Amino acid sequence: MKSPRSEFFDGCTVAVTGGAGLIGSFVAEQLVDAGARVVVVDDFSKGQRANLKGIADRIEVREGNLEDQAFAEEALGGVEMVFHLASRAFGVGYSSAHHLDMLEHNERINNNLFSAARRTRPARIQVVSSSCVYPDDGPDTVPELPLFTGEPEGVNLGYGWAKRFLEQKAVVFQAQTGIPVSIVRPFNIYGERYTWVGQYSQAIPMLVKRVMDGADPVVIWGSGNQRRNYLHATDCARAMVSVMASGFTEPVNIGTEDTVTMRELVGLICRLSRVSPQVVTDTTKPEGRFIKSADSRRLRTVVPDFHVAVGLEEGIVRMIGWYHASFGVGAAVGAAT
């Protein structure tokens, strides 16, 4: 007997923008398993074809840049549903110094996506926002706050504004066209399909690489006492697909209340790597808001069977495997990248 989710997507043509990326590739896999005809839309600037190897013979790939309006319309041609994940997203080292670049790039993609959707008229759309839309002075465990409460997260200001604009466009688009648009706000997603971008990489891959490279001391940005909720990309993807199938269109946090300090995270990486370097902090570097976790009550209401299948310890083991695959002898990506 098929699950309600499988019945919802079975036989539908579904586009996943950014579908070769960290989260998008897991979304694509789950849609294939649910019986969908999946169209992966990606320019492969960060997404990797290797992430799609398990489903390569069961999907269509439309390669191109969504900053090109003509390609955006081609990308959505003939599709019945859209998961919109394509964006420029880096760690705080890049975001904190490139707010305008982040805003402008993401705005071009998002504007083109909605313009194309007005013409192609898919039956449903899901847009992927971010926890960066929330202000730094909000509660430690963040519910789905109104969109324009204070400024977005300071170290990700440009990215946060781009995601706020994306959400507002979604609301207006739905009101004018009648096409349902669901909105999800992921919190600190990581996983072994991450594409290394050097000094601009996100926290977990950055710290795993420092430890595995043999750094001593291992430097943590900020105080090291800042707390984060981390969710593996496969759990994020499963939640997103379930939210889409539910038909719910209010914003939904994708994350949980559980947090870990950066010191604890580095300690876990060291223990699983069986190394014991000195760990120091650099308070001259940005650390973002002090505590950042998700109020998951709405998610668990919309998706009653939501659970974390990949815990942080298992996830770090997978990230250590990512390191060996990416930077080991004969790996495609060198340690100097």
Instruction: Region of 245 please: left (phi>0), alpha (psi -120 to 50) or beta.
Output: alpha
Quickly name the fold that domain 4-189+232-257+293-309 has: Rossmann fold (3.40.50)
User: Mean pLDDT throughout 73-100?
Assistant: 82
The number of C-alpha atoms within 13 Å of 301 and in the hemisphere containing its C-beta is 9
pLDDT score, position 285: 87
Domain layout of the chain by residue ranges: 4-189+232-257+293-309
User: Mean pLDDT throughout 51-79?
Assistant: 97
**Contact call for residues 188 and 231 (beta carbons, < 8 A):** yes
Distance CA 230, CA 246 (A): 24
pLDDT digits (tens, 9 = 90+) for 136-161: 988 999 999 999 889 999 888 999 99
Distance CA 4, CA 220 (A): 44
pLDDT score, position 138: 87
Q: Which two tokens stand for residue 59?
A: 């999907």
Peptide bond into 186 cis (omega under 30): no
The secondary element (H helix, E strand) that includes residue 322 is helix 312-327
pLDDT score, position 156: 87
User: Mean pLDDT throughout 186-193?
Assistant: 97
The SS3 of residue 173 is helix
pLDDT digits (tens, 9 = 90+) for 87-100: 976 555 565 566 88
Residue 134's alpha-carbon distances to 140, 257, 262, 298, in angstroms, are: 11, 15, 20, 16
Query: pLDDT higher for 194 or 199?
Result: 194
Does 245 have pLDDT greater than 60?
yes
Distance CA 275, CA 280 (A): 15
